[in-house]
Amino acid sequence: MKTMTMMTKTMITITLLQQDIVWGNPAANQVAVERQLAAAPKSDLYLLPEMWSTGFVTQPEGIAERDGASLRWMQRMAQQLDAAIAGSIATEEEGRYYNRFYFVKPTGEVAHYDKHHLFTYGGEQLHYTAGQERVIVAWRGVRFLLQVCYDLRFPIFARNAAEGPESYDVALYVASWPTSRREPWDLLLRARAIENQAYVCGVNRIGQDPACEYNGGTCCIDAYGHTLQTCPDGKESLITCTLDLEKLNAFRQKFPVLSDRD
């Protein structure tokens, strides 16, 4: 378990970018995301989809990034925007491949989570190494749980706690979740928010890759399971939500579900 120090803050603004991804072309995808960022409201955090720089590659040889170019781009953007940028990248390190969710701060500091539940139905486990640690990152007083796509189907791994190093305020899910399984995406995001008394932000891509079609479903959900905002289906777009931590903590105190967890 990794965690980082928390400071006091009651409101945080997050922008979720629902993008079409150019297959295997990090440079083109960086340009496309920069265009979206230029149109986005000022935020504390900008969230990108799973494997935003290449598309969801299950055979990463020759496509996964080993030079860190997209990570350096994230660091530059974070510094320019004075905000954190987060999203996953197909990464090669010392001969191993990881679906690595980077959380990059404007200081250049980088935290990362390696996807734990590899998508066996699509053969992801044949090439990638699974991460073994759940990761929570603190940023501007808010604790973020980092999760990637298929992790959404495993509620025990995302289980929140009332307090301590296992507790968090916002769960971030970055995904390449196909249109054919869209209904579970919508339902499970709400379930994770309700059962963990946390905000949930889920960002999914649109468009097509060699295997699947994607129609989005990017949204922000509160701890009651209410959808605060959502992107239109099938359209490259963004949403910006301001999350109220004081309201979240008041709800947890009034209805202390997490204190009764197994």
Instruction: Give the length of the chain.
Output: 262
Which residue among the candidates 65, 105, 115, 201 is catalytic per the annotation?
Answer: 115
Q: What is the DSSP string of 179-232?
A: GGGHHHHHHHHHHHHHHHTSEEEEEE-EEE-SS-EEE---EEE-TTS-EEEEPP
Amino acid in the structure at residue 125: Q
Look at residue 76 and give its three-state secondary structure: helix
- Closest listed residue to residue 74, CA positions, set 103, 51, 50: 103
Which residue among the candidates 50, 105, 124, 201 is catalytic per the annotation?
Answer: 50
Which residue among the candidates 105, 149, 220, 241 is catalytic per the annotation?
Answer: 149
Q: Which two tokens stand for residue 194?
A: 């309700």
CA distance linking residue 97 with residue 127, whole number of Å: 7
Task: Determine whether 149 is an active site residue.
Answer: yes
Q: Which residues of 11-48 are buried (b: 16+ CB within 10 A; e: fewer)?
A: ebebbbbbbbbbebebeebbebbeebbeebeebbbbbb
Name the residues annotated as catalytic: 50, 115, 149
